Homo-oligomer: A and B are copies of this chain.
């Protein structure tokens, strides 16, 4: 029963497993929490995966009529879906980590760009990452008590550490550019 799903499919399964019954719209928001360590899929991808998963018998849905709002469909993971998800989760296969770091990319081509522009970009990056760090700190605060959230706390901790390191590196490079 080794299902061949894209990772986005497993993400959807996993979120349904953790959160219970959700609509496509709610799933999109849940998926948003992943953005710090795993980019957040587009809405239309979530819908596509839901359709695929339902066709494969891994999730089931029911239709809810709402007044004043568009109808919605709530999805729930099925036993088979949970089994497939857990198998993926425990399986040792680990695709490589992917980084797309626009700043490093532009710095790589640095001999073709202006020093001023480089410094400006790094400044922007630093500002942005300081904001991320602040957001993450808030997230961390709100979960620090709950022992239920052990794993979420782990990844948030990773995120904070990662962000701090990025900031440090960016500042170090900025200094080099300003001095040299």
Interface of A toward B, CB cutoff 8 Å:
7, 11, 14, 17-18, 34, 36-39, 85-86, 89-92, 94-114, 117, 120-121, 124-125, 128, 150-152, 154-155, 158-159, 161-162, 165-166, 169, 173, 176, 180
Q: Are A124 and B154 in contact (CB under 8 A)?
A: no
Instruction: Tell me how far the C-beta of A143 lies from the nearest C-beta in chain B, rounded to whole angstroms.
Output: 13
Bound Cα distance A166, B161 (Å): 9
Overall SS of chain A's interface: helix
Write the chain B residue with the least CB distance to A117.
B90
Q: How far is the CA of A150 from the CA of B106 in the complex (A)?
A: 13
In the complex with contacts A154-B173, A158-B169, A173-B158, A94-B90 CB distance below 8 A: no
Nearest chain B CB to A127 CB, angstrom units: 11
- Nearest 5 CB-CB pairs, A to B? A110-B151, A37-B104, A90-B117, A98-B100, A89-B113
A151 CB, nearest partner CB in chain B, Å: 3
Q: Are A100 and B154 in contact (CB under 8 A)?
A: no
Known: A105-B11, A112-B17, A165-B165. A37 touches B90 (CB 8 A): no
- Of A86, A91, A120, A155, the most chain B CB neighbours within 10 A belong to A155
A39 touches B150 (CB 8 A): no
Select one of B34, B102, B110, B124 contacting A150, CB under 8 A: B110
Contact A37 B117 (CB under 8 A): no
